Structure 1
Amino acid sequence: MSNVILKASNISKQYRLGLVSSGTLSHDLTRWWHKIRGKEDPFLKVGEANDRSTKGNSDYVWALQDINFEVKRGEVLGIIGKNGAGKSTLLKILSRVTSPTTGEIKTKGRIASLLEVGTGFHPEMTGRENIFLNGAILGMTKKEIQQKEDEIISFSGCERYIDTPVKRYSSGMRVRLAFAVAAHLEPDILVIDEVLAVGDAEFQKKAIGKMQDISRGEGRTVLFVSHDMNAISLLTDRVVVLKDGKVYFEGQTDAAIKEYLKEGSTELSYVFEGQVKSPKIKKVKIHTSLPNNTHEFGKTLKIDFEIELPYEVENLALAFQIIDEFQNPIIHIWQIDSEFNIQRKKGSYNFKCIIDKTRLYMGTYSLKVYFTDSKNKTRFDFIESTCNFKVEMIKNKRNDYKWVSGTCKYIEDSKWLIENL
Structure 2
Amino acid sequence: MDEVLAVGDAEFQKKCLGKMEEVSKGQGRTVLFVSHNMNMIRNLCTRGLLLREGIVGSDDDDIVRVTSAYLQGEKNSTAQWEADAPRQMDCLTPLSMKIVDEDGAVVSSIRGSRDSLYLVLEFELHEIVSSFTIGCVCFDQEKNELFWSYATDTGEGSWPKLRLGKNSLKAKLPQGLLNKGTYTYHLLASYHFIKWIVEPGKGPSVSVDIDGGYSDSPFWQSTRSGLLAPTLEWEVL
- Is this a same-fold pair by TM over 0.5? yes
Verify the 8 A CA contact 2:182 2:207 in the aligned structure 1: yes
Verify the 8 A CA contact 2:99 2:107 in the aligned structure 1: no
**TM-fit CA distance, 1:285:** 0.4
Change beyond 3 A, Cα 1:275–1:326:
closer
Verify the 8 A CA contact 1:323 1:330 in the aligned structure 2: yes
Q: d(CA) in 2 for partners of 1:208 and 1:388?
A: 33
1:274 to 2:86 alignment? yes
1:371 to 2:183 alignment? no
Q: d(CA) in 1 for partners of 2:34 and 2:73?
A: 16
User: What is the aligned length?
Assistant: 214
**Residue 76 of structure 1: aligned partner:** none
Verify the 8 A CA contact 1:309 1:346 in the aligned structure 2: yes
Aligned mate of 1:260, from 61, 70, 89: 70
Q: d(CA) in 1 for partners of 2:72 and 2:204?
A: 12
**Residue 357 of structure 1: aligned partner:** 175
**TM-fit CA distance, 1:349:** 1.7
**TM-fit CA distance, 1:366:** 0.8
TM-score, normalising length: structure 1: 0.42
Q: d(CA) in 1 for partners of 2:219 and 2:95?
A: 40
Change beyond 3 A, Cα 1:347–1:222:
closer
Corresponding residue SS for 1:225: coil
Corresponding residue SS for 1:202: helix
**Residue 393 of structure 1: aligned partner:** 212
Higher Rg: 1
**Residue 250 of structure 1: aligned partner:** 59
**TM-fit CA distance, 1:359:** 1.7
**Residue 286 of structure 1: aligned partner:** 99
Q: d(CA) in 2 for partners of 1:358 and 1:364?
A: 15
Q: How does 1:35-74 map to 2 (within 5 A)?
A: none
Q: d(CA) in 2 for partners of 1:196 and 1:395?
A: 35
Corresponding residue SS for 1:224: coil
Q: d(CA) in 2 for partners of 1:348 and 1:321?
A: 22
**Residue 226 of structure 2: aligned partner:** 406
**Residue 348 of structure 1: aligned partner:** 166
Change beyond 3 A, Cα 1:210–1:356:
closer
**Residue 320 of structure 1: aligned partner:** 136
Q: d(CA) in 2 for partners of 1:370 and 1:196?
A: 18
Q: d(CA) in 2 for partners of 1:385 and 1:265?
A: 15
Query: Percent identity, aligned pairs only?
Result: 14
**Residue 40 of structure 2: aligned partner:** 231
**Residue 206 of structure 1: aligned partner:** 18
Question: More helix per residue: 1 or 2?
Answer: 1
Change beyond 3 A, Cα 1:237–1:317:
same
**TM-fit CA distance, 1:401:** 3.3
Verify the 8 A CA contact 1:278 1:309 in the aligned structure 2: yes
**Residue 300 of structure 1: aligned partner:** 116
Corresponding residue SS for 2:66: helix
**TM-fit CA distance, 1:398:** 5.7
Give the partner amino acid of 2:38.
Answer: M
Give the partner amino acid of 1:287.
Answer: V
**TM-fit CA distance, 1:235:** 2.6
Verify the 8 A CA contact 1:299 1:356 in the aligned structure 2: no
Q: Deviations over 1:97-116 (max 9, x none)?
A: xxxxxxxxxxxxxxxxxxxx
Corresponding residue SS for 1:318: strand
Q: d(CA) in 2 for partners of 1:292 and 1:270?
A: 12
Q: d(CA) in 2 for partners of 1:196 and 1:303?
A: 29
Q: d(CA) in 2 for partners of 1:194 and 1:342?
A: 35
Verify the 8 A CA contact 2:114 2:214 in the aligned structure 1: no
Verify the 8 A CA contact 1:320 1:368 in the aligned structure 2: yes
Q: Deviations over 1:117-167 (max 9, x none)?
A: xxxxxxxxxxxxxxxxxxxxxxxxxxxxxxxxxxxxxxxxxxxxxxxxxxx
TM-score, normalising length: structure 2: 0.69
Q: d(CA) in 2 for partners of 1:395 and 1:330?
A: 18
**TM-fit CA distance, 1:254:** 1.9
Give the partner amino acid of 1:257.
Answer: T
Whose relative contact order is higher, 1 or 2, with alpha carbons under 8 Å and at least 6 apart? 2
Q: d(CA) in 1 for partners of 2:4 and 2:92?
A: 33
Q: d(CA) in 1 for partners of 2:172 and 2:218?
A: 22
**TM-fit CA distance, 1:298:** 2.5
Q: d(CA) in 2 for partners of 1:400 and 1:291?
A: 32
Give the partner amino acid of 1:327.
Answer: K
Give the partner amino acid of 1:206.
Answer: G
RMSD after superposition: 3.8
Q: Structure 2: any 5+ residue segments left out of the alignment?
A: 232-237
Verify the 8 A CA contact 2:113 2:179 in the aligned structure 1: yes
Q: d(CA) in 1 for partners of 2:150 and 2:3?
A: 31
Corresponding residue SS for 1:370: strand
